[in-house]
Structure 1
Amino acid sequence: MANIKIITDSTCDLSSAIVKELNIAIVPLYVVFKDVSYRDGVDITAAELYSKVNKLKELPKTSAPSPKDFHEVFKPYIDNGDDILYIGLSSRLSSTIQNAKIAANEFPEGRIKIIDSFNLSTGIGLLVLMAADFVKEGLTLKEIFARIQESLPKVKTSFVINTLEYLHKGGRCSAIQSFVGGMLKIKPIVQVVDGRMILGHKTRGKIEKSLRSLIELTMKDKDRIDLKRIIITHSEADEEAKLLKKGLEEALSPKSIIITSAGCVISSHCGPKTVGIIYLTK
């Protein structure tokens, strides 16, 4: 039986330690400042991205890996006799999945399975970790593909956005929303629904209040949450992530809470001090 190689993209926002431990391959997306392209997590970090935004007074553009990029990543594993499971960024947010499929079609049928996560950040990462569990259990590529597909609607992803500036500059909310949000200190909770980012519940005031609201939102699923693994993802919000972890430990006592940092593509959309909870329902 062929070995199974798990591949994902840089928006999965898993730590380098986890990626290395599980031998996961990453295909980077791109961030572009003034026609200069940087590979997410390779040529530029989130901290460096924010520094450039402050200096240039503009947000970068983001772009998907090309079919050629995917082909170059896929080929060595196929040549080595491995089968590939690729799990990537929602097709409703990016052309990443489309380009992965174009590349996969250049290889023998059945050797590469492509999964559209209909999610982002560690909403993808949670699926990648699940797939790695299945590989360790000895499941076949076909079996893993089926189980991950069944789990897609069970992934719940919610973020507190600390500033509307990035959503506004990126064209993701109107100037009026941005102005009113800033004046009233609104910190919206963004949820991933059907592969898209949806502006949901709005909180006002200090970030601590928003974190409590995020935990309250999570607790609505209390009896359905898979407590094996919960992920907290943040962008330059270490202390907020620790507060969120403490709150979840007290409220749910999960077996594992993993804290990860968002990469450049996710950070460029959501901005600094963004923090979120990602979990799987039963």
Structure 2
Amino acid sequence: MKSIAIVTDSNCGMSPAQVKDLGIYMLPMPFFIDDKEYLEDIDMNQSEFFQHLEQNPGCRVSTSQPTPESVTTLWDKLLKDYDEIVHIPMSSGLSSSMQTARMLAEDYDGRVRVVNNQRISGTLRYSAIEAIQQAKNGLSADEIGTWLEETRFDSSIYITVATLKYLKQGGRITPAAAAIGTMLRLKPVLQIQGEKLDAFSKARTMTQAKNTMTKAIKDDIADRFGEKINLDVIHSHNLEAAEEFRKEVLTTFPNIGEVNIFPLSLSVSCHIGPGSLALTCSKVHPEIW
């Protein structure tokens, strides 16, 4: 049986220590503050990032995909110890990093399988964990990649933001829409199901937004996933609210034994800003465990 390394990027929301414990390798995603490049958890951590935003409200933040050199350097290192690599980048609908990785993989004689898994954050985390399990089950890198692509829509993310500033800055909404939303104090609920970040609903209060996200997950369980699911609460610099939301989610879904809390990756927070809350759902595939 061939040895397989599982690689994802820091948009999975896990810390370097967490991926190490799971046996996963992680590519740090770059982001920019006023045109200066940083790598998450290498040059700047969560606390430092949001402190900088608070102290410099006029700063501009943006993101980029990893450099080709950073990708191939990691692959070359891993292929000294592993036969194959399964590389699971963030959703191709949110970044061109998947397309770039596929192009780079053409020079690796089939030893690197780049997966168009179309996930991010907590749902990407579960894909990487499932890939680890499928490697233990004896699947090849190509078989793991095919399975991940076949199950890529078995997840949902619903997220509400505290400010429209960063969505406007990143061109995700028009300045006019941002101005109207700010004036009316709307809290949009956005969704990711497969590819892109799309509008889902509008709420006037955080309580309404949380109720909207919870109902959406209920509907997904009933219509798409069934009762065997993983739920995560994700946040950007909003831990206290996330802990309270977690309690509410556990009350709403009493059959779920555990709801994890994870921070939103910094490269996603660049587009969302501080104060966001999200509820993510991933279907469990008991046949692989």
For the criterion TM > 0.5, the same-fold answer is: yes
- Which position in structure 2 is the counterpart of 1:264? 266
Deviation at 1:198, TM superposition (A): 0.4
Q: Structure 1 counterpart of 2:234, which letter?
A: T
Quote the residue 2:124 is aligned against.
124
Structure-2 residue corresponding to 1:160: 160
* Amino acid in structure 1 at the alignment position of 2:232: I
Q: How many angstroms apart in 2 are the aligned matches of 1:134 and 1:249? A: 29
TM-score, structure 2 as length reference: 0.89
Residue matched to 2:75 = 74
- 4+ residue runs over 4 A deviation: none
1-structure distance, mates of 2:221, 2:53: 39
The DSSP-based 3-state class of the residue aligned with 2:42 is coil
Distance 2:109 2:248 in 1: 48
In structure 1, distance between residues paired with 2:13 and 2:147: 22
Q: 1:257 to 1:135 in 2, by over 3 A?
A: farther
* Alpha-carbon distance, 1:222 to partner: 3.0
Paired with 1:112 and 1:256, the residues of 2 have a C-alpha distance of 34
Aligned to 1:43: 43
The 5 A counterparts of 1:45-64 are 45-54=45-54, 55=56, 57-64=58-65
Q: Does 1:184 align with 2:184?
A: yes
Q: Where does residue 249 of structure 1 map in the other structure? A: 250
Residue in 2 aligned with 1:216?
Answer: 215
- Per-residue Cα deviation, 1:32-65 (whole angstroms, up to 9, x for no partner): 2233211123211233223333416122221101
* C-alpha distance 225-126 of structure 1, shift in aligned 2 (>3 A): farther
Matched, 1:102 2:96: no
Q: Is the 8 A contact 1:31 1:63 kept in 2?
A: yes
Aligned pairs, number: 280
Secondary structure in 1 matching 2:279: strand
Q: Equivalent residue of 1:131, what SS?
A: helix
Q: Secondary structure at the match of 1:118?
A: coil
Q: Secondary structure at the match of 1:42?
A: coil
CA contact 1:67–1:102 (8 Å) conserved in 2: no
C-alpha displacement of 1:82: 3.0
Give the superposition deviation at 1:228.
4.3
Cα deviation for residue 268 of structure 1 reads 0.6
Q: Are the counterparts in 2 of residues 29 and 265 from structure 1 also a CA contact under 8 Å?
A: yes
Which consecutive unaligned segments of at least 5 residues does structure 1 have?
none
CA distance in 2, matches of 1:234, 1:275: 5
User: Could you list the runs of 5+ residues in structure 2 that have no partner in the other structure?
Assistant: 285-289
AA aligned to 1:229 is N
**Aligned partner of 2:281: which letter?**
Y
Paired letter, 2:142: K
Q: 1:31 is matched with which residue?
A: 31
Identity %: 24
The Cα shift of 1:73 comes to: 0.4
Q: Kindly provide the CA deviation profile for residues 194-241 of structure 1, in whole angstroms up to 9, marking residues without a partner as x.
A: 411101100102x23321221112111233345342222111111222
- Change in CA separation of 1:81 and 1:102 when aligned onto 2, cut-off 3 Å: same
C-alpha contact 1:13 1:262 (8 A) present in aligned 2: yes
Aligned position for 1:280? 282
Which letter maps to 1:26? M
Task: Give the secondary structure class of the aligned counterpart of 2:199.
Answer: strand
What is the distance in 2 between the residues matched to 1:152 and 1:28?
22
Q: Distance in 2 between matches of 1:82 and 1:226?
A: 37
Distance 1:237 1:227, change over 3 A: farther
